[in-house]
Amino acid sequence: MKDPYGLSKASIPISYAHLLLEIMVEKGFSASEILYQSKIPSALLHQVDARITPIQWSKLAWVSLGLAQDCGLGYEYGLKLRLTAHGPMGYALMSSPSLRHAIALASQFFNMRLKDYRIDCYQENLVSIIEIQQTHPVVSQQLVQAEILRRFFYECLMIGVVHTAQALAEHDFSDVELHVDWAEPPYHQNFQPQLPSVRFNQTHNQIRYPSAILNLCTKMADPTAFQQALAQCEAEQIRFSETIQDIGLKVKTELQLTP
């Protein structure tokens, strides 16, 4: 059977599954039953560098969404996404000298954590933009299922990025705005006080913020720890990346990361 998008190849770190299971257990559901329904061996949870396939990740998300009756599970996941879930990249982000360095680093190494999405960063006048795009559509035989999963994954990512920035720097981030290409879901109002401003039915999925934010120093900046974590990121990328990096992006990022 053909697998043009590599959906049957283990590429998604088990740490992301850990967090979703933690949320579901807090809601009173059984982690072992969810894993069974998702066809994910429970032994993988105890392997530090384990990875699951995009098919398994989608099944895990779909089973969890069904049990939780959706109800903003993607928002909840993004708000609870901790830096350590990103492995070496998370530690590099924590020790980055500024948000500018952190975003450049995330742009370079994001594909080794979630290869099914890409991040593009650019500036329009005094507004900086992080645009998140799928590298392929969500694969499902049911259109409704594909749409729900797509929205869930984007919510996890976009809210997770903003939550990460809040953890890194002293700033209220009330000037951040999300643009998303779907209609407002019924659960949005319940989470609105915890979220940045969200504009629905837009053309692209973007995180928009004043460019001045990029100059903010991180709370745990550490040059030595940053270089050590950066080396670990590069090693992990060699071990797990199955795609050739964009050379232009790599050169640009190296220039930004090098003192």
149-159: b or e for each residue (b if 16 or more CB lie within 10 Å)? bbbbbbbbbbb
Cα–Cα–Cα angle for 244, 249, 252, rounded to 5 degrees? 140
pLDDT of 1 over the 90 cut: no
Residue 254 banded pLDDT, cuts 50, 70, 90: low
Looking at mean pLDDT, say which of 103-107, 197-201, 233-237 comes out highest: 197-201
Q: What is the pTM of this model?
A: 0.89
Convert the pLDDT of each residue in 55-112 to its tens digit: 999 999 999 999 999 889 999 999 999 999 999 999 999 999 999 999 999 988 887 8
Convert the pLDDT of each residue in 6-65 to its tens digit: 888 888 999 999 999 999 999 999 999 999 999 999 999 999 889 999 999 999 999 999
Convert the pLDDT of each residue in 159-189 to its tens digit: 999 999 999 998 888 899 999 999 999 999 9
Residue 133: phi and psi, rounded to 5, are: -130, 145
Convert the pLDDT of each residue in 131-161 to its tens digit: 999 988 888 878 899 999 999 999 999 999 9
More confident position, 115 or 167: 167
Residue 257 banded pLDDT, cuts 50, 70, 90: low
Identify the pLDDT of residue 244.
Answer: 40
CA dihedral 118, 123, 124, 125 (to 10 degrees): 170
